[in-house]
Amino acid sequence: MSQNVRQHRVMTGDEQLVSLHHIRSSSTRTMRRVAIVVSVVSVVIAALVVPAGTGSAQSLVGRPLAKQPGSSGDSVLVWNANAGQAALAACIAPTDNPLHESHMYAMTHIAIHDALNAIDRRYRPYAFFGHASRQASTDAAVATAAHDVLVPVLGQIPAPFPQACIDAAIAGVEADYAAALDAIADTPSKRKGVNVGAKAAAAILALRADDGSDTPLLDFEYPQGTEPGEYRFTPGTPFAFAPGWQDVTPFVLEDSSQFRADPPYDVTESAYTADFDEVKRLGGDGTTTPSDRTPDETEIALFWVESSPLQWNRIGRTVSADEGLDLWEQARLFGLLNMALADGYVGSFETKYLYNYWRPVTAIQLAETDGNPDTDADPTWTPLVTTPPIPDHDSAHSVEGGAAAQVFQRFFGTDEIGFETCSLTLPAGSRCNDASAVTRSFTSFSQAADENALSRMLVGFHFRHANESGVEHGRLIGDRAVDLFLLPVH
């Protein structure tokens, strides 16, 4: 590793706040709906995400394993991790619904950022432009801003996510909030902090009240294509996922089409044939379909199945803690990161449903009818992980990686910061907080983004072109976020 690369280790233990449990559905119908959700964006094998058997129906995660830090200076990181824990408890993570997950994180961190900058205006606010006493408790302000966004937004998560999961997530946030306030002396400073945190949360909630994020998630009537290259429902998921997400109001983009990716290849092009052959050779499950993946490539494929918002926020906590950012810098970083991630999905879904391009699993199984003499069909070809029910191009996961890496690179002024991170979608025993957790190391943010993009071909989800286009799409979104939002006031 180059000497000018700063290396950071992954957070472990209670900093990840993760301990998966089994889930017991209240009814057969509910379990079927949960199983359908498991096939959504960035899905991992159903048995991995929602295991059968006994266990708590109230939560997918345990509470923190160690005492929540109470000292001033860490509250932004604490509430970033708490938001991730809430997403896990609500059953929208680690794979099931990164759309609402990213939307929730963005709103939460805008409120946190604006509350702190009402106390001491270092960066331009996004939604709340008021001022508060400099004696206001920053810990109380951060905790209240986060709590007052998370609770109502969690309550708005749509069907088919079980109410038991949502109730558990809200209860967890309430417990975290009570613990945070109990750690602060009952003084006028505390009350002032609570007041400004509440105002900042109310401002972003009002601004986003009619932003379109209540769009239905499962569209069973979505028209399927009939011509070569046109999207069809993917095996096991007779619906399209959230085609209306492209109409959600962006946080930083002018509109969802602003940085629309270049179009996919025509199915008769030689470049398409090369991508087809590559994913066919490497993306199979190794059981029904032989695969030439190496063990390391299989690890890469499964490692990055995890929700992008969950993973890139974990990376952000690791790096920002070791870089010694203060509260205001942390708030700005996570505000920019999560607005870019949220808009990454909005922009990618506009691209996806415009081009309406078929997935590799469909292309390979139907290659006999594609009009390309150089592609060979395999009617039983099966990807390593069940393909999400969304058109192929561009890869939203790759957009997310490109956006996150660009925000980090611009914020820190260098791409060359090394770090390690773990995953929740590796086989049991290898996940974050397991005794033998597997971590992957990177010497730069762009290296991680590129591996993240590569993983989507290795897992059998996307053609290479969708991944490469997605990374560039995300970088443009990340640049716009940093160029125009939460700017220093001096």
CATH number at residue 193: 1.10.606.20
Mean of the pLDDT values across residues 296-300? 98
Calpha distance 190→138 (Å, rounded): 8
Tell me, yes or no, whether 490 lies in a domain: no
384-417 confidence digits (pLDDT tens): 999 999 999 999 999 999 999 999 999 999 999 9
pLDDT of 73: 82
Tell me, yes or no, whether 326 lies in a domain: yes
Tell me, yes or no, whether 338 lies in a domain: yes
- Look at the block and give the residue holding tokens 């192929």: 392
pLDDT of 247: 98
Tell me, yes or no, whether 1 lies in a domain: no
Q: Is the pLDDT of residue 20 over 70?
A: no
Q: Is the pLDDT of residue 256 over 60?
A: yes
Q: Is the pLDDT of residue 48 over 80?
A: no
- Which range, 6-10, 22-26, 197-201, has the best average confidence (pLDDT)? 197-201
Tell me, yes or no, whether 271 lies in a domain: yes
Confidence of residue 9 (pLDDT cuts 50, 70, 90): low
Tell me, yes or no, whether 93 lies in a domain: yes
339-387 confidence digits (pLDDT tens): 999 999 999 999 999 999 999 999 999 999 999 999 999 999 999 999 9
Confidence of residue 12 (pLDDT cuts 50, 70, 90): very low
**H helical segments located in 187-307:** 188-207, 270-282, 295-303
pLDDT of 490: 84
Calpha distance 385→460 (Å, rounded): 7
Residue 312 token pair: 């890139």
Q: Is the pLDDT of residue 72 over 60?
A: no
Average pLDDT of the chain is: 89
Write down the pTM of the prediction: 0.89
pLDDT of 7: 64
Mean of the pLDDT values across residues 106-123? 98
- Output the CA–CA distances (angstroms, integers) from residue 247 to 47, 212, 213, 254, 426, in the order listed: 33, 6, 8, 12, 33
Tell me, yes or no, whether 305 lies in a domain: yes
Nearest to 40 by CA among 276, 287, 305, 266: 305
Mean of the pLDDT values across residues 277-303? 98
Confidence of residue 6 (pLDDT cuts 50, 70, 90): low
Q: Is the pLDDT of residue 128 over 90?
A: yes
Calpha distance 420→9 (Å, rounded): 5
pLDDT of 61: 29
Q: Is the pLDDT of residue 42 over 90?
A: no
Amino acid sitting at position 377: A
Q: Is the pLDDT of residue 92 over 60?
A: yes
Q: How many residues does the chain have?
A: 490
What range does the domain containing 435 cover?
Answer: 6-216+226-484
% residues pLDDT > 90 (the chain) = 85
Mean of the pLDDT values across residues 196-202? 98
Q: What are phi and psi of 94, to 5 degrees?
A: -90, 5
Counted domains in the chain: 1
pLDDT of 406: 98
If you compute the radius of gyration of the chain from its CA atoms, what whole number of angstroms results?
22
% residues pLDDT > 70 (the chain) = 85
Residue 379 token pair: 């009617």
Amino acid sitting at position 224: Q
Tell me, yes or no, whether 221 lies in a domain: no
pLDDT of 10: 58
pLDDT of 18: 33
Q: Is the pLDDT of residue 470 over 60?
A: yes
- Look at the block and give the residue holding tokens 């302000």: 141
User: Which of 8-17, 174-183, 389-398 bottoms out in mean pLDDT, i.e. has the lowest?
Assistant: 8-17
Q: What are phi and psi of 132, to 5 degrees?
A: -135, 165
- Look at the block and give the residue holding tokens 């508060």: 132
Q: Is the pLDDT of residue 144 over 70?
A: yes
Looking at the DSSP bridge assignments, the partners of residue 357 are 230
